[in-house]
A and B are shown apart, each in its own frame.
Chain A
């Protein structure tokens, strides 16, 4: 019987050039669920996602990341690639191959990893494109797509081999309200239809709370809060409250750390006098 959690992260710490990014985080991603990792820019969300996908291999990482019971850091290149064939990832701006058409982008993994006949690849590509509503755009090039369309094509490409784990890196960034809802609905719908598990890294609170089952809140490399969407909305924790309701004042201050304002101004005055 498969384990209840598809991804398990225990005491994970990570540093870039001795600068700590993650400081002992713990997460459990249950099978079949959509879990969001939220937090401010630079809090370590994307780093966590990259460590799950094995894209960051560093001696400075300590702790454990297990996907389907396998320790990611113990995998060699071949093992890592075998694991990634069961994963799909949607990059922030789609990362479509600009020299390939929409059709070829979606067919890319099928051509690389399977020996399917061309007629079957065509049917599968059209099914995937139909699922994201872009069957009619199959002959367009990525440069002819809007931001929302590019994200949907990238989504069709990511699900082309029916992955068991979908990872979304800022899927809502830079989208208009309609595209935002479309992508949100697709994430939920595709997760349920494929029987997959999804991890959504985002700071778009309103859209993501509509679709996710569970949320981890990160700040400065640690998990500061977790819970269901309703629990997060009702949270009294000052950081979570400020984040959810978009308040200007709170634990995250408006000003970047700086010396006292008065001191800075006086210094300027003194310099002018000296001149």
Chain B
């Protein structure tokens, strides 16, 4: 009976929406609880430093290598386009603005989500599956304060530093291809860059973006891990969800932030 099928379909949509809203509320409560329980992350700073090492330092290789290649491609593509208009001397500003405003924060956040975000989700999911989180609760130690909050701040602190390094090595990649290999004038490469990049408008906005992405990616990774069903399948699905959701949220947030920051510039 078709009307019965329609009924089931509508019920399914309604159920999915209610679940979605419930999960969003649960995630928001989890995020607030993490912020409220963050005191210990700063009082016992070694907990946070350890997480900066695991999230930040361990992501350095992938960030630096990717940044170098992205900068080199920018140098190559930028030169090809600019030379058509006789403006190859503007290569420095093109590479720097692209990296500082957009590619640095966005690509570093996407790489951070797949390297550190997935690791955070898998680690917390496994801690739950092997009853380490329950053991901590039974020892009267709050897992949000001891496990979640240091990882959150570790991620939030690491992300802008990684984005800055991505942009810096990217600029070097652009220089390598544009100046060293192709032969663009070194003086105009650096002076155009210096003239075009505004500290407040470009660098600070780039940092704001990367901090926002750091908060979003780390919060998603932590929530997915903490909420994962304590099974191998549950942890695997949660890890996948971390990478997919983080990527979509980063790109969505980037559009919103760009619309506010660079409107009319």
- A residues at B contact (CB < 8 Å): 53, 55, 80-82, 84-85, 87, 89, 91-93, 95-98, 108-109, 112-113
Chain A to chain B contacts (Cβ below 8 Å), 6 pairs: A53-B138, A84-B138, A93-B131, A98-B127, A108-B139, A109-B139
Give the docked Cα–Cα distance between A117 and B150 (Å). Answer: 24
CB-CB nearest in chain A for B44: A111
* Contact of B140 with A by CB under 8 A: yes
Give the docked Cα–Cα distance between A112 and B138 (Å). Answer: 13
CB-CB nearest in chain A for B145: A112
Contact status B139-A84, CB under 8 Å: yes
- List residues of chain B with CB within 8 A of the CB of A53: 138
Interface size class of B (residues with CB under 8 A): 10 to 19
Contact status B134-A84, CB under 8 Å: no
- List residues of chain B with CB within 8 A of the CB of A97: 132, 135-136
Identify the 8 closest CB pairs spanning chains A and B, nearest first: A81-B140, A95-B135, A95-B131, A84-B140, A89-B138, A85-B140, A91-B131, A112-B141
- List residues of chain A with CB within 8 A of the CB of B140: 80-82, 84-85, 112-113
- List residues of chain A with CB within 8 A of the CB of B142: 81
Contact status A92-B139, CB under 8 Å: no
Cβ contact of A55, chosen from B127, B132, B138, B146, cutoff 8 A: B138
Give the docked Cα–Cα distance between A82 and B135 (Å). Answer: 15
Query: Would you give the shortest CB distance from A39 to chain B, in whole angstroms?
Result: 21
Over the window 37-51 of chain B, the binary record of Cβ atoms lying under 8 Å from chain A Cβ atoms (1 yes, 0 no) is: 000000000000000
Contact status A91-B135, CB under 8 Å: yes
- List residues of chain B with CB within 8 A of the CB of A92: 131
* Contact of B83 with A by CB under 8 A: no
- List residues of chain A with CB within 8 A of the CB of B198: none
Query: Would you give the shortest CB distance from A196 to chain B, in whole angstroms?
Result: 15
Contact status A55-B131, CB under 8 Å: no
* Contact of B80 with A by CB under 8 A: no
Query: Would you give the shortest CB distance from B201 to chain A, in whole angstroms?
Result: 43
Give the docked Cα–Cα distance between A71 and B126 (Å). Answer: 33
- List residues of chain B with CB within 8 A of the CB of A89: 135, 138-139
Give the docked Cα–Cα distance between A52 and B123 (Å). Answer: 29
Cβ contact of A91, chosen from B126, B127, B134, cutoff 8 A: B134
Which residues between 205 and 252 of chain B lie within 8 Å of chain A, taking CB atoms?
none
Contact status B134-A95, CB under 8 Å: yes
Contact status B130-A93, CB under 8 Å: yes
Query: Would you give the shortest CB distance from A165 to chain B, in whole angstroms?
Result: 11
- List residues of chain B with CB within 8 A of the CB of A96: 132
Query: Would you give the shortest CB distance from A170 to chain B, in whole angstroms?
Result: 12
Give the docked Cα–Cα distance between A87 and B138 (Å). Answer: 8
- Known: A84-B140, A91-B131, A96-B132; 15 extra A-B contacts, CB below 8 A, are A55-B134, A80-B140, A85-B140, A91-B135, A92-B131, A93-B131, A95-B131, A95-B134, A97-B132, A98-B130, A98-B132, A108-B141, A112-B139, A112-B146, A113-B140
- List residues of chain A with CB within 8 A of the CB of B185: none
Give the docked Cα–Cα distance between A93 and B139 (Å). Answer: 16
Contact status A95-B132, CB under 8 Å: yes
Give the docked Cα–Cα distance between A87 and B137 (Å). Answer: 11
- List residues of chain B with CB within 8 A of the CB of A93: 130-131
CB-CB nearest in chain A for B136: A97
- List residues of chain A with CB within 8 A of the CB of B130: 93, 95, 98
- List residues of chain A with CB within 8 A of the CB of B139: 84, 89, 108-109, 112
